[in-house]
Structure formats: C-alpha cells, structure tokens
Structure 1
C-alpha cells in the first residue's frame, strides 16, 4: 500500500510577497482573518475615542451646548458610516478593493 503525498494546492491568480504562487496551507486562513479582525477592532476603538474627545472639544473650546456638540458628533459619525457603504459599493462596482482602501485611508488621515 502506497502512501499518498499531501497535495499542495495554490490560490489561483494570487502570489505571495516573493511573487511565487500562494499556497493554501501557508497563506490566508484564520491567521490572516484574525489580524484583520484585530485591526478593525482597534480602528473602531480609536474612532469612538476621538468622537468622545470631539464632544468635549466642541463643548469646552467651541462653546457649544452639550446637546448641540453631541448632535454634531453623531451627524459626523453617521456621515462617516454612510461613506463606508459608498466605498464598499465603489470597490465592488468600479475600483479594486485595495484602491478604495488607500483612498479612504488618505481621506481619514487628512481629517
């Protein structure tokens, strides 16, 4: 009885950083997904921390009432979340996901 060698399968159309075919056993999977999940959690924490600091800034330095400053911040957050939906549509319909990610990162960095 012969033992079968494990089959090495590749991701069709994908390469690694050395421009070699990406192997299913070594690339992607749960490890890559966990990095993306952690990055998304940290980004949301930073976004919410900045939003709470923005409420205090509008209240103390711009001399807005607490309700008006909170309303302005929630309007800003709603606009940011709606623009994320627009970015998702554009990445699926017109551009690549990577280009939309870079454009949105530049816009977020400029804010």
Structure 2
C-alpha cells in the first residue's frame, strides 16, 4: 500500500510509541479529533498521544488507504490494552505541504 510519507511516518511512530515523532508528523497548528475530544496544535497532540500510548499501548496495521486530493482515509486495525481490541478504525487526514493539518478518528 502506498501511503503518503506523513502517514507512513505517523504509523511508524505509533507502532514504536514515539509521541514526539508522532506529533512531528503534524503541522504546528494541526487539529485532531478523537473520542469526543479536540486537540489543537502540535504540543497538545503530543500530550494526547503520549497519554494514549501509556494507557492503551495501541499499534496500527494499515488495511486500506484512499486519497482524494489533499484528503485521505486510512483504515487500520488497531490493537492494544483497550476494551474490544482489536478494532478497525478510520483515520481521516488532511495533508498540506507534507504535514498532517487535521485528523479525525472514527469507528
């Protein structure tokens, strides 16, 4: 599967639990929506993924990726220490200048 570099780097960072590398995949003013919460800016994104990594130890296995211009949707099997693991989630990305500018995670 041919993933944009920012998304491939994000999956690699997630699977190695590297919250700093994960956050660096995002634009400085990026926005992430997940589990009913919104995280604004690279600092909040790093804090959010660090907390999630400690809590859930989630890893991603990409299943499918579709792209439409600067937007894309990654379907990935996510497994970890959370109830219902594993689960397939959809990651809705907006990418600009090689950085993720927005991400919405849905079930």
Task: Calculate the TM-score normalised by the size of structure 1.
Answer: 0.28
* TM-score normalised per structure 2: 0.29
**Using CA pairs below 8 Å that are at least 6 residues apart, which structure has the higher relative contact order?**
2
Query: Which entry has the higher C-alpha Rg, 1 or 2?
Result: 1
Q: Comparing both structures, which one devotes a greater share of its residues to helix?
A: 1
Give the strand-richer structure, 1 or 2. 2
